[in-house]
A and B are shown apart, each in its own frame.
Chain A
Amino acid sequence: DAMVIQNPRYQVTQFGKPVTLSCSQTLNHNVMYWYQQKSSQAPKLLFHYYDKDFNNEADTPDNFQSRRPNTSFCFLDIRSPGLGDAAMYLCATSIDISGANVLTFGAGSRLTVL
């Protein structure tokens, strides 16, 4: 089945210790997104790639970086996690960014910062 896969599902790290979260897709979608979602809050878009074009949200901290080495994979790097970065990180894909293009989400990576 075509899908979006995130690894790891659960990540525990120490304050300041770098973390990398991965996302892979078999949908061959052009767009890949990274969202941060805290409990009972709306998903917050961190950045997205349209093919190789990187689009950073204005309020995304520099502590968050991303790489998309090819169509199928996208990584989220958190360089120095703080307690406030504990959240669910959702990867999503879509064919395009306009109109009725539906986002397909991965199962998420839950980050705990000790």
Chain B
Amino acid sequence: GQNIDQPTEMTATEGAIVQINCTYQTSGFNGLFWYQQHAGEAPTFLSYNVLDGLEEKGRFSSFLSRSKGYSYLLLKELQMKDSASYLCAVRDSNYQLIWGAGTKLIIKP
């Protein structure tokens, strides 16, 4: 079966750096997405990786290693508004999006 694993919950301090990991086992690979979802709201797109390496977008970066079936989302200079769930999703060989259950990130002052 297809599977995406993410930690259920993480806690970090305002101003610090946090890395959220995602490992996947899917039927083929056509890209990996990270979405942010605040409680009770819809997911919003953060990043997309299809080639190995690091993609940087301001305070957020996303890394992909296809050979390891692994990605991480790196958040720098954490702000209270970054408290949210972070969802990892992989597009498989049939172009279906396989979603992880999300990592709830709690930011403490």
Contact residues of A with B, CB < 8 Å?
40-45, 88, 90, 97-100, 102-108, 110
Contacts and interface: CB of A to CB of B under 8 A. Distances in A.
Contacts of B87: 42-43
Contacts of B50: 99-100
Contact of B42 (A98, A102, A107): A107
A43 B89 CA distance: 10
Interface of B: 4, 8, 30-31, 33, 40-45, 48, 50, 85, 87, 91, 95-97, 99-102, 104
Given A41-B101, A42-B87, A43-B99, A99 B45 contact: no
Given A90-B42, A100-B31, A105-B43, A40 B97 contact: no
A100 B48 contact: yes
Contacts of B8: 40
- Main DSSP-derived SS at the A contact region: loop
6 contacts: A40-B104, A42-B87, A42-B101, A90-B43, A100-B31, A107-B42
Contacts of B91: 98-99
Nearest to A110: B40
B97 A103 contact: yes
Contact of B97 (A45, A106, A110): A45
B29 to A, nearest CB: 11
Given A98-B30, A98-B95, A108 B42 contact: yes
